Structure 1
Amino acid sequence: MLTLTNVTWLDILCISCAGVYFVMRVFNKKNPASYPPGPPGWPLIGNILDMPHTKPWLTFAMWGKKYGNISHIEIMGQHIVVLNSVKAAMDMLDKKSTLYSDRPIFPVGGELVGWKHSMGLLPDGDRFRRYRRNLHRVIGTRAAVGTYNQIEEVETRRFLKRVLTKPGQLQTHVRHTAGAIILHISHGYEVTENDDPFVDLADRAVDQFSRSTVPGAFVADFMPFLVNVPEWFPGAGFKRLAREWHETVEEMISAPHKFVKDQMAAGIARESFTSKLLGDHDHVAKWSAGSLYAGGADTTVSSIYSLFLAMTLFSDVQKKVQAEIDAVVGPDRLPSFADRDSLPYTEALAKEVLRWNVVAPTGVPHRVTEDDIHDGYFIPKGSLIIPNIWFMLNNPQTYANPSQFNPERFLSIDGKKPETDPRTVCFGFGRRICPGLHLAEASVWISTAMSLAVFDISKVVEDGVEITPEVDPSSGTISHPKPFKCSIRPRSARAVALIEQDVNY
């Protein structure tokens, strides 16, 4: 596979020859202002050796400290601008959204694998707006998401029961529950109890999306002519991989869509996002629902899994939220969305989960559609704009001791002003802000409240030694905590009784 991790100098030399024309155009053009500062590049190849391929947000943060909130590199004629401050991101991606709302073409992840039809990678235009309108009607407001409260509560209660039965399979249970919620909404589909095919399919597809769209994943993303080389060509292993991944994407989009059509033909379909859209163009209906399905099947998994990691590491926080739930809800029932306004510490904890473990550390790159001068810097047409969301949520000037998990930073205590709500940043910016943000935060909140009402989460003890999990998020467009062990036990016999209650729609 030809990736930035295994490029040889011979590869670079060959690619450079093809890129000379583009580089010469850059050098020969008279720019109206200077580019933002950044690492100095090499002749011909630019900054290809500077582009990080593992946890790029850490490298981008170092650039921010050295070069300022707006930094710049160039790879084979492709300009990349990294934003390390909320202000820069808001000023460019929000206030200048007419210029900064496009998406780049991803030659591998978008074109070869096939994610170019998903809403996340659609170029700014009529089809993108059509998808977004479809999603906004269903999950675009808190009121709209509120219609799914029962689904969230039922599936979360089922999650508690699975965790009680098999606590050692936490990550599997989290994925299963996220898939159950989103498939119920998107396709009216009720998942099987174990090894559901649609949940497994989404897991594979979204993992491949994350790996194929991270900046710098493939040299072909910077030199698109490479996508035309045959699969047998040396270094073209990425094409075989893309072909396999394309088959996964097609199945993930088409199989649940066919399920709804078959159910409707039989007169037994549940009302769902897809069933409401089937009067629309079939491609639009399929990919609008597929975008909802893919987006909801993985992002909340990362957040909820990180909740259990945080509770394993920060027992004092767990005790405080449990004390609040016990005082407000009591021992005779589980928390529900009706309790949300009465549980401020639980709300703050859910916010801290979103800040502490950044699900999309660098988001998906934006693309500028026209030349722009911003803060005196020249941003050429076609530049990729990457917001370093991870640093924005870990900036010590914004968040005191950012590595510390501390929900109290979002509460007004002793007249102290709360720190910046992470929800203004973690879901992206401008027209490209995540359309499912209200559904995502609702899922995180109800999982937090219900799980901590009935479970004590702690470190595992093996051979008399307490095992402290490592905080090590994965690379990729969507980042997950490194798999870890923890002890999950019911808080009391009453908690067990609450978990084991039968629950149905």
Structure 2
Amino acid sequence: MLSTPGYPLIGNLPQIPLSHSWLQFHTWSQTYGPIFRLTLAGAPHVVLSTEKAANDLLRERGTLYSSRPQLPAATVLLGDRLRPLFLPYNDLWRRGRKLMHHLCMPSAAASYEGTQRLESTVLLAALLRDPAGYETHFERFSSGLIFRLGFGKTLEEAESAGKGGASRSLTHRILEVGHTLERVASPGAYLVDTFPVLMRVPDWAAGWKRELKWMHARELALFRELLYDVKKEMEERKDQAVECWERAFLEKQDEYGLSDDEGAYVVGTLFEAGSGTTSAAMMSWTLAMLLHPQEYRRVQQEVDRVVGEDRMPDFGDMESLSTVRAVIKETLRWRPVTAGGVPHQLVKDDIYQGYFLQAGTVVHFNQWAIHRDPDLYPDPETFNPSRWLDPKYPTYREPLAEYPNLKNFSAFGFGRRFCPGHSIAERSLNLLVARIAWACDISKSRDEFENEIPVPDYDYISGFNTQPKWFPFNLRPRSARRQKMVDEAAVEARRKDTLKVA
């Protein structure tokens, strides 16, 4: 195992860019091999750049590689060691994971399809009405879905919570918590993550400590408020209380062995994860379809053949929509949402392929590099959904009624830290892509001289999760009939929500 040359004391720190560090890691993997070492201010790090290496260590040796580095900013100060995403591999994490599994397992995910249908209909109508606001529409779909599932509230209810007073809406507050997490957890955001000795600086002399503790108090107050709202409704309405994840936790709280705050953070973390990643994936999918319009036409042709014009696509169609599923999986390979992965930490000395790995080593699975392994993904820079559909590719699996799917796909992580909400995300992505292709034509925008306006191939925001920066494009209904069906379905969805709120 080769090591990247660095500097005394600080190691490779100056060589790692503050944004999109996975690109540098990928470059190093081409020089130093698929597994290489680096040091950051004396701390040992190892970067894995192939799916085999990541599976061998993070999945097959999960008891050793399932912990997390305890970053002072995000884990200790912002989360007060309550956020499951950053917990070490301990009993609290296992108890929280048990609750997550119960809420998100495939059999439970199937029961959420009615909510996904409703929210996808609202999204379609919004896109057709205001294509330029696609970022907001995708975010509202993701947030609206998880808000219903997690807290039993619609976005309309959440947004009205702050009206008429000084407080902001619940929607604004919880999205703000998610954006804060992404900022704080981004590599290089806080110097204390690189030099933990700075934690010894007293609060009065460290404005960054006071800021992070204040943000923790703010998010804890929000998570408690959402939990106690559900608890109050359960006390007042008994069995008539709305079904949601918070209720499922409270009904079996003793069984899970979690305090109110611990359970509130489990559900809050599911919201954070679900509200950001699905919307980011849809933005990358839209970008891919603009850059590769022939692939969008293939999706539309498949949807038309399977569904026709008399109804919108539904979950029962998915086993016949292999091209839809292939385009989604290829999007997540081509532009993974968490491109650098969430680091693991080794808890005990280990040896892999003759290389010694010491306890405490931070292990990065670089998704960007893993998804560009030419042995697994020939011509990896090319967006090619056929790699999931054509037997000549190493990634092909059959039957196509089942494959491709996102089960165990590396875009969702590895081993015991694999994203628990992947089944919900997969169902959302399948339905959204099929329904947008059924209802909409999309194309690049044109200037005043009718020349196509170029769309950047890779112009992405910086952060923990990443998505393309806003880009212009044209979107219009495929027919007046399809537009009318979408509008009528959206009106009915809003009517039901109005009755619920009233």
Distance 1:494 1:53 in 2: 49
Distance 1:201 1:238 in 2: 21
Shift of 1:76: 2.7
> Which one has the bigger helix percentage?
2
- 1:160 paired with 2:118, answer no
- 1:466 paired with 2:458, answer no
For 1:497, the equivalent position in structure 2 comes to: 484
For 1:101, the equivalent position in structure 2 comes to: 66
Give the counterpart letter for 2:464 in structure 1.
Answer: T
Distance 2:80 2:306 in 1: 45
For 1:172, the equivalent position in structure 2 comes to: 136
For 1:254, the equivalent position in structure 2 comes to: 224
Distance 1:248 1:457 in 2: 41
Q: Per-residue displacement from partner, 1:266-323 (whole Å, max 9, x unpaired)?
A: 3163111111211413123212211211111111111011121122221111111111
Give RMSD over aligned pairs. Answer: 2.1
Contact 2:377/2:395 (8 A) holds in 1: no
Shift of 1:167: 1.8
DSSP-derived class of the 1:73 partner? strand
For 1:478, the equivalent position in structure 2 comes to: 465
Contact 2:82/2:262 (8 A) holds in 1: no
- Greater displacement, 446-455 / 71-80: 71-80
Distance 1:245 1:391 in 2: 34
Distance 1:212 1:134 in 2: 26
Contact 2:158/2:170 (8 A) holds in 1: no
For 1:427, the equivalent position in structure 2 comes to: 412
Shift of 1:416: 5.3
Alignment of 1:324-473 (within 5 A): 324-412=302-390, 418-419=395-396, 424-464=409-449, 465-470=451-456, 471-473=458-460
- Structure 2 unmatched runs, 5+: 161-168, 254-258, 398-403, 497-502
Q: Per-residue displacement from partner, 1:344-375 (whole Å, max 9, x unpaired)?
A: 11111121122122011122110111111222
Shift of 1:259: 2.5
Give the counterpart letter for 1:81 in structure 2.
Answer: V
DSSP-derived class of the 1:278 partner? helix
Shift of 1:114: 1.6
Q: Per-residue displacement from partner, 1:61-100 (whole Å, max 9, x unpaired)?
A: 1111111111111223311111111111111111111110
1:115 to 1:426, Cα distance in 2 relative to 1, 3 A = farther
Which residue among 204, 208, 224 is the counterpart of 2:176? 204
Give the counterpart letter for 2:139 in structure 1.
Answer: R
- 1:239 paired with 2:204, answer no
Contact 2:387/2:393 (8 A) holds in 1: no
- Greater displacement, 85-94 / 403-412: 403-412
Contact 1:313/1:458 (8 A) holds in 2: no
Distance 2:191 2:158 in 1: 39
Distance 1:244 1:486 in 2: 40
For 1:310, the equivalent position in structure 2 comes to: 288
For 2:26, the equivalent position in structure 1 comes to: 61
1:113 to 1:376, Cα distance in 2 relative to 1, 3 A = same
Shift of 1:139: 1.1
Shift of 1:412: 2.7
- 1:42 paired with 2:7, answer yes
For 2:500, the equivalent position in structure 1 comes to: none
1:316 to 1:150, Cα distance in 2 relative to 1, 3 A = same
Distance 1:407 1:468 in 2: 22
DSSP-derived class of the 1:341 partner? helix
1:193 to 1:269, Cα distance in 2 relative to 1, 3 A = closer
Which residue among 168, 180, 188 is the counterpart of 2:152? 188
1:212 to 1:198, Cα distance in 2 relative to 1, 3 A = same
Contact 2:377/2:394 (8 A) holds in 1: no
- Greater displacement, 280-289 / 302-311: 280-289
1:181 to 1:115, Cα distance in 2 relative to 1, 3 A = farther
For 1:131, the equivalent position in structure 2 comes to: 96
Distance 1:427 1:373 in 2: 26
Contact 1:371/1:380 (8 A) holds in 2: yes
User: What is the TM-score of this pair, normalised by structure 2?
Assistant: 0.88
Give the counterpart letter for 2:110 in structure 1.
Answer: G
For 2:256, the equivalent position in structure 1 comes to: none
DSSP-derived class of the 1:460 partner? coil
User: What is the TM-score of this pair, normalised by structure 1?
Assistant: 0.87
Q: Per-residue displacement from partner, 1:361-419 (whole Å, max 9, x unpaired)?
A: 12211011111122222211111101001111123332233333221111036x65545
Contact 1:398/1:419 (8 A) holds in 2: no
Distance 2:105 2:478 in 1: 36
Alignment of 1:18-97 (within 5 A): 36-97=1-62
DSSP-derived class of the 2:2 partner? coil
Distance 2:210 2:57 in 1: 38
DSSP-derived class of the 2:5 partner? coil
Distance 1:190 1:198 in 2: 11
Shift of 1:248: 4.4
Q: Per-residue displacement from partner, 1:111-164 (whole Å, max 9, x unpaired)?
A: 1112631111111121111111111112122x2211111111111011111112
Q: Indicate the percent of aligned positions where both proteins have the same amino acid.
A: 33
Shift of 1:445: 0.8
Q: Per-residue displacement from partner, 1:190-209 (whole Å, max 9, x unpaired)?
A: 11189573333333222222
Distance 1:337 1:56 in 2: 38
1:240 to 1:480, Cα distance in 2 relative to 1, 3 A = farther
DSSP-derived class of the 1:461 partner? coil
1:407 to 1:431, Cα distance in 2 relative to 1, 3 A = same
